Structure 1
Amino acid sequence: MTDRALVVVRAGALTTVQDRGRPGHAHLGVPPSGMLDAPAGLLANRLVGNAPGSALLETTLNGVALRPRCAVTIAVTGAPCPVTVDGRPAAWGAPVRVPAGALLDVGTATSGVRSYVAVSGGLDVDPVLGSRATDLLSGLGPPPLTDGTVLPLGPAHSLYAPVDMGPQPAPPGELVLRITLGPRHDWFTPTALRTLTTRTFHVSTTSNRIGLRTEGPRLDRAIPHELPSEGLVLGAVQVPPNGRPVIFLADHPTTGGYPVVAVVHPRDLPSAAQATPGTPVRFVDSAPTQPRRRLRRSERSSDEGGPGAKPPVSGRGG
């Protein structure tokens, strides 16, 4: 048995192995998975000199405790939390050397939800479809950690130079999500669309890696019947029968039958990963308002089928 390994002493509420995920397999029903707060995870890998795609740990709320069988360098990023080595305080957001057999304890988040623990060499668990990420929806990848789990580590040497520290945004006090309306926004009443972009929602306690659920005003539908299942993307804002929006995160289903009223800008999703229950949520329509241009007489004639009008394009509509 190799000594390049970590032993899980305390698994925490939910600690999973993550990397950049396995995008490109939606046609097989496989979600993208991967780090919910990718900038934080990438920074953790950079701090210890790992390649960006190296596997690391994503903790939820109350951290994790680990005992390496060999000396390693670790870094903890994401949600701020206390870090100790054999009971002595250690740095958060910077590289820390942990001797073989010492106890690394990553404590409860003081703000935010998810912390990231990178270890020099990366976690060397078996990849599935090109990724080592745990996917809670499909069950692909390693299962969530339990006490006593042994995690093998990759080679310690790396061509990537570590850094001493890096800037990290604070977890959001208010979650502002830029959205593009569609593809099924026309299934909702005009009042519901105004409610979506003018009222405040709050993060629900039932949120998880699959989706961030909200509490607050209801979005009423103009079309009451249901859709056949259709494809879903990361950041889709789906509205189930209770009328409260759900923002789909990395472990989201690849198809669904409830209408999607909007899609969140990808750069805003890492903040959603760190929003604690009760955090206010506002949706902002990012599509610029285009002023209506007056048509010249020649353009009006064309639009009305008069002189200069173009023949209709044949073929099926999209």
Structure 2
Amino acid sequence: MSLTVIACGPLCLLQDGGRQGWQHLGVSPAGPVDKQAAAWANRLLGNTPGVPLLEIALGGVELEVQADAWLALTGAELPAILDGEPVPGWSRFRVRVGQRLKLGFARAGQRAYLATAGGFHTEPILDSVATQTREKLGGLGGNGQPLTAGDVLQCAALGERIAGGASVPWPYRPDYRETPTLRVLPGPDAFSEKQRQAFFEQCWQVSPQSDRMGVRLRGEALSAPRRQWSLGILEGAIQVPPDGQPIVLLADRQTMGGYPLLGVLHPLDIGRLAQCPAHSEVRFVPASVEQAQADLRAFLRFFCG
């Protein structure tokens, strides 16, 4: 089966579990910036984790269905209309040939995730279809281009095993309207206790210059220790450049960095930060590595079995 793109919003990307095992060559992993929302979309359809789906920034997408299928929509709160009828978020639903699915613009959150039973199919580049626009990798054409009107998304003719609609239970759905408090693990660089307190005690604002590479924060500038060497960078790393305004790195991050690292965002809080719009506020609290490891193990057991 297939879906035809009738209209496309600001940034609609094909993503999967990411381009793993290539960072030693300077290749960013890419993948969804909100891994929890993406994981729920695939779980609703019985897909294995990391099956290719769409990451839709802000909304504004219209798709025409070319064959009967099952879809799932999670992530940002946005109006979804199937042939004039509203579709609830964080749910799976059936679509039939000839129908059109219209996704309006987000009212809360930044990115929605649309999955199909069996996933979207295209030729992988370096073992992944994840779209990385900066490095021109992945996506439908393999060249890192976002989706545009006229593109055709191929997917498996699956879904017979799905008995009916279903949705994610309310306790597991994030409220994107709330000011989040995000957990931070210790970093490798020796920031003074005064500067660490300054980071945790203030409320930070999300800069409009944020993107899939990283979220830039605005607040009272920090003073970072000097560092003379670069380190490998992981998702969630909190860099503090010379201007003292922290940057939290996301899925399209660089693979090496020389700015001092104040800490690393809890892996399960990265997606919540990525859903924060420009000018919104966030707060941070210290967390332990041991608790983060336990949380991540529970997450992987639930979604990966």
TM-score (norm 2): 0.85
1:145 aligns with one of 126, 144, 147: 147
Give the AA of the match of 2:83: D
Describe the shift of the 1:158–1:87 C-alpha distance in structure 2 as closer, same or farther (beyond 3 A). Answer: closer
* Structure 1 stretches of 4+ moved >4 Å: 157-163
Question: Aligned residues, how many?
Answer: 281
Separation (CA, whole Å) in 2 of partners of 1:155 and 1:71:
8
- After TM superposition, the structure 1 = structure 2 runs for residues 109-148 of structure 1, keeping only pairs within 5 Å, are 109-142=106-139, 143-148=145-150
Separation (CA, whole Å) in 1 of partners of 2:23 and 2:74:
29
Separation (CA, whole Å) in 1 of partners of 2:272 and 2:228:
30
Larger CA deviation: 189-198 vs 144-153:
189-198
Separation (CA, whole Å) in 2 of partners of 1:69 and 1:35:
26
Separation (CA, whole Å) in 1 of partners of 2:154 and 2:59:
23
Shift of residue 229, structure 1, vs aligned partner: 2.8
Where does structure 1 lack aligned partners over 5 or more consecutive residues? 289-318
Structure 2 match to 1:309: none
Shift of residue 57, structure 1, vs aligned partner: 0.5
Structure 2 match to 1:282: 283
User: Does residue 1:169 correspond to 2:174, yes or no?
Assistant: yes
1:46 aligns with one of 40, 43, 48: 43
Structure 2 match to 1:7: 4
1:67 aligns with one of 64, 72, 76: 64
Give the AA of the match of 1:270: G
Shift of residue 92, structure 1, vs aligned partner: 2.3
**TM-superposition CA deviations, 1:154-206 (whole Å, max 9, x none):** 2425778876111322225222221122212x2x4443222111111111111
Describe the shift of the 1:55–1:26 C-alpha distance in structure 2 as closer, same or farther (beyond 3 A). Answer: same
1:87 aligns with one of 84, 91, 115: 84
**TM-superposition CA deviations, 1:185-233 (whole Å, max 9, x none):** x2x444322211111111111111110111111011343xx53332111
1:15 and 1:63 in contact (8 A); partners too: no
Shift of residue 146, structure 1, vs aligned partner: 1.0
Shift of residue 117, structure 1, vs aligned partner: 0.7
Separation (CA, whole Å) in 2 of partners of 1:230 and 1:77:
35
Structure 1 match to 2:253: 252
Structure 2 match to 1:234: 235
TM-score (norm 1): 0.82
- After TM superposition, the structure 1 = structure 2 runs for residues 168-317 of structure 1, keeping only pairs within 5 Å, are 168-171=173-176, 173-184=178-189, 186=190, 188-223=191-226, 227-287=228-288
Shift of residue 42, structure 1, vs aligned partner: 1.6
Separation (CA, whole Å) in 1 of partners of 2:23 and 2:225:
30
- Name the SS of the counterpart of 1:281 in structure 2: strand
Structure 1 match to 2:297: none
Describe the shift of the 1:199–1:230 C-alpha distance in structure 2 as closer, same or farther (beyond 3 A). Answer: same
Tell which structure's C-alpha radius of gyration is larger: 1
Shift of residue 139, structure 1, vs aligned partner: 2.2
Structure 2 match to 1:19: 16
Separation (CA, whole Å) in 1 of partners of 2:238 and 2:51:
30
Alignment root-mean-square deviation, CA:
2.1
Structure 1 match to 2:158: 156
Separation (CA, whole Å) in 2 of partners of 1:158 and 1:21:
28
Which structure has greater strand proportion? 2
Give the AA of the match of 1:164: A
1:46 and 1:161 in contact (8 A); partners too: no
Separation (CA, whole Å) in 1 of partners of 2:263 and 2:48:
34
Describe the shift of the 1:239–1:39 C-alpha distance in structure 2 as closer, same or farther (beyond 3 A). Answer: same
Shift of residue 116, structure 1, vs aligned partner: 0.6
Shift of residue 76, structure 1, vs aligned partner: 1.0
Identity, in percent, stands at: 39
1:63 and 1:108 in contact (8 A); partners too: yes
Where does structure 2 lack aligned partners over 5 or more consecutive residues? 140-144, 290-305
User: Does residue 1:78 correspond to 2:75, yes or no?
Assistant: yes
1:177 and 1:264 in contact (8 A); partners too: yes
- Name the SS of the counterpart of 2:48 in structure 1: coil
1:121 and 1:158 in contact (8 A); partners too: no
Give the AA of the match of 1:204: S
1:48 and 1:163 in contact (8 A); partners too: no
Separation (CA, whole Å) in 1 of partners of 2:225 and 2:237:
19
Describe the shift of the 1:281–1:183 C-alpha distance in structure 2 as closer, same or farther (beyond 3 A). Answer: same
